[in-house]
Structure 1
């Protein structure tokens, strides 16, 4: 299992599968939440995760594919709205702390 310190995060990648746009909504909402911390949020297909990605969030069913396509810390979420993963990420960035994936 890999981990990253919240203070090291300057970009979060939301990876998706060619879906209905729910992950675009997640990226937009997370971008608003992380803007005060100068953290960018990027949306990308799970098979095209950028090489410079340090933290990738994706639906739990895509975690294995994301890990196969990236060396970043990959954390899965269950729900597109209100999942505790998003709160954990914001808290780690805001307060410092470790995120494991």
Structure 2
């Protein structure tokens, strides 16, 4: 289980492996959703996740690789659906509302 303090998230990374368009679409959607919250949303390859990422979202089958690539303590949120995933929606809500979420 991972806890995310939405109020402290300033940089969210959507990480993928193959550079598929669907993960770029997710990053674009999240960027629009969080544009008024002062959060930078970027897309990154798994092996190039920035060290200053506050939270990383990635496809569920890539989550272990993402955890190995991020700084210790950086939450990794696996998702199953590129659009409309409930865990990603909970993270977005926590950021927008400045609340904490456990996943």
TM value normalised by structure 2 = 0.89
2: CA distance, partners of 1:83 / 1:67? 19
* CA pair 97-82 structure 1, distance change in 2 beyond 3 A: same
Matching of residue 29 in structure 1 with residue 32 in structure 2:
no
Deviation at 1:14, TM superposition (A): 0.3
Give the structure 2 partner of residue 84 of structure 1: 86
Contact 1:75 1:100 in 2 (8 A): no
> Which of 85, 94, 97 is the aligned partner of 1:95?
97
Q: CA RMSD in A?
A: 1.4
Alpha-carbon distance, 1:99 to partner: 3.6
SS of equivalent to 1:12: strand
Paired residues, number: 101
Which residue pairs with 1:47 in the alignment?
47
Over residues 38-81 of structure 1, what are the superposed CA-to-partner deviations in whole Å (9 max), with x where a residue is unaligned? 11101000111111111000000010000000021101000101
1:6–1:96 CA contact under 8 A, matched in 2: yes
- Segments ≥4 residues shifted beyond 2 Å: 1-4, 96-101
- Structure 1 regions of 5+ residues with no counterpart? none
Alignment TM-score, normalising by the size of structure 1: 0.91
